[in-house]
Amino acid sequence: MSRRILILYTGGTIGMLPSAEGYVPMPGFHDRLLQQLDSRATAQLPDYDLLEFDDLIDSANLVPDDWRRIGRCLAKHWQRYDGFVILHGTDTLAYTASALSFMLQQLDKPVILTGSQIPLAELRNDALDNLITALLLAGNRPIPEVCVLFNGRLLRGNRSRKVRSDGLDAFDSPNFPWLGRVGIDIELQTSLLLPAGEPKLEAPVFDPNAVALLPVYPGIPARTLAGILDHSAIRGLILQTYGVGNPPDANRELMDTLAQACDRGIAVLNITQCDRGAVIQGAYATGAALNRIGVVAGRDITPEAAFAKLQVLIARGYEGEALRQALDSSLCGECTT
């Protein structure tokens, strides 16, 4: 039997058309795709259906509830298809790929996110190649996890980052090898793939106010942190510190505010501002101060995955020590343990 793939068009540059105010998401992607495929060897593609969101998303406007929309759609159609390709805007694609990896987990079929830097409607574009490659991978390769496919790179979704705004090679996974490389041949690193399992297919209700992200900077005042924490809904904080996880520990007021947050049950996850490398909390005395007050070291997790992980765990009801332990673990390959 032929494998069948569902393409879910959520919005993004790949389906945009020009307007007087710049590119905007527009309906009718399926017809534009068929026009592009008209002269192609489409018999080599797996069978597919295309489902287009009624309310298309410019990914700069993405909110956590959009992850729920996508997750519920996948759950609704999971048994009818052998794989899924999600077309998404590039600005927040890594956030969605990370969120879906935590929402689904232990997959038994591929979920591949892709998009483009140039819309499909333009004569010269990267949209068609990204979409065709994602379709071929989803339809012909055993990839039981959420991935990003972009410019011939197959990346673990929760390791991916948008690293360029002006190139077709917009995505990379700085702290983890590519799962595959697509050139003349398709080279899949099967030893790196997560094992297949029974998907959870949960789409929890998110509180957009539950998680905040704060980069430290020279001279950061404690009142900046206090202002973020002075919100009744805040349940988790991602702290982006220097190097291997070093905060400005000489700022006693700042450190006291962090300690009070931990004592109140707010989960604080420490990640590095560096694109490559990991938090090693305690390599320096400044980082060791975070160990003493109960801050969780995020290792080499990306900011996108850290934010999505906290959002999903909190939406599932994790709190207190259970939340801290989950943050300290690799749930689906998002960090090196």
The response to whether 92 counts as a known ligand-binding position is no
- Work out the end-to-end distance of the chain between its first and last CA atoms, rounded to an integer number of angstroms: 40
CA quadruple 184, 190, 191, 195: dihedral, nearest 10: 160
Q: Which residues contact 8 (CB under 8 A, 6 or more apart)?
A: 51, 53, 70, 73, 74, 84, 85, 86, 87
Which of 103, 115, 100 shows the shortest CA–CA distance to 58? 115
Instruction: Supply the DSSP string of 38-89, one letter for each residue.
Output: TTS-GGGSPEEEEEEEEEEE-GGG--HHHHHHHHHHHHHHGGG-SEEEEE--
User: Is 236 in contact with 210 (CB distance < 8 Å)?
Assistant: yes
Give me the active site residues, please.
Answer: 13, 90
The response to whether 336 counts as a known ligand-binding position is no
User: Is 269 in contact with 263 (CB distance < 8 Å)?
Assistant: no
The response to whether 91 counts as a known ligand-binding position is yes
CA atoms within 13 A on the CB side of 93: 36
Amino acid, single-letter form, for residue 204: P
**Cα angle at 222 between 221 and 224, to 5 degrees?**
75
Residues of the binding site for substrate: 59, 90-91
Residues of the binding site: 59, 90-91
